[in-house]
Structure 1
Amino acid sequence: MRIELDRVVKQGGVALPLTSLAVESGEAVRVVVETEQRPTVLGLLASGRMRPDEGAVLLDGEPGRRREVRHRTALVDAPAVSDPEPDVSLAGAIAEELLFAGVPGDPRSVRRWAAQLGVEAERDLPMADVEPATRIRVLTELAVLRDRVEAVVLVSPDRHGGDPRAWWAQARRLAARGFAVLVLCGEAADAVLRADEAAEEEAEAAA
Structure 2
Amino acid sequence: MRVALHDVSKGRGGQSLPATSLDFHTGAVRFAIAETEQRPTVLGLIASGRMRPETGRVSIDGAPNARALRRAVALVDAPAVSDPHADIALAGVVGEELMFAGVGATPLHARRWLKNLGFAELASVPVGDVDPSVRVRILCELAILREGVRAIVLVSPDRHGGSPDGWWRIAAEFADRGYAMLVIVGGAAAVALERMRELGAVNATGPVEPLMLEPVADAAPAAASATEDTTENGAVR
TM value normalised by structure 2: 0.83
1:46 is aligned to 47
SS at match of 2:147: coil
Give 1:101 shift: 1.1
Deviating above 2 A after TM superposition, structure 1's stretches of 4 or more consecutive aligned residues are none
Residues 12-48 of structure 1, C-alpha deviation per residue, up to 9 Å, x if partnerless? 2100001111000111110011011000000000000
1:26 is aligned to 27
Where does 1:85-104 land on structure 2 (aligned, <5 Å)? Answer: 85-104=85-104
1:16 is aligned to 17
Tell me the amino acid that sits aligned with residue 9 of structure 1: S
SS at match of 1:20: strand
Structure 2 gaps of 5+ residues are 202-237
SS at match of 2:200: helix
Superposition CA RMSD, Å? 1.0
Please tell me whether residue 143 in structure 1 is matched to residue 143 in structure 2: yes
Counterparts of 1:48 and 1:14, CA distance in 2: 19
Counterparts of 1:95 and 1:38, CA distance in 2: 29
Counterparts of 1:61 and 1:107, CA distance in 2: 42
Q: Tell me if structure 1 keeps the 8 A contact 2:92–2:107.
A: no
Tell me the amino acid that sits aligned with residue 153 of structure 2: V
Tell me the amino acid that sits aligned with residue 13 of structure 1: G
Give 1:199 shift: 2.2
Tell me the amino acid that sits aligned with residue 131 of structure 1: D
Counterparts of 1:13 and 1:143, CA distance in 2: 30
Residues 37-65 of structure 1, C-alpha deviation per residue, up to 9 Å, x if partnerless? 000000000000011110110111122x1
Calculate percent identity across the aligned residue pairs: 52
Q: Give the aligned length.
A: 200
Give 1:4 shift: 0.4
Please tell me whether residue 119 in structure 1 is matched to residue 119 in structure 2: yes
1:57 is aligned to 58
TM value normalised by structure 1: 0.94
Tell me the amino acid that sits aligned with residue 21 of structure 2: S
SS at match of 1:55: strand
Tell me the amino acid that sits aligned with residue 90 of structure 1: L
Q: Tell me if structure 1 keeps the 8 A contact 2:3–2:23.
A: yes
Residues 69-94 of structure 1, C-alpha deviation per residue, up to 9 Å, x if partnerless? 01111000001111001110000011
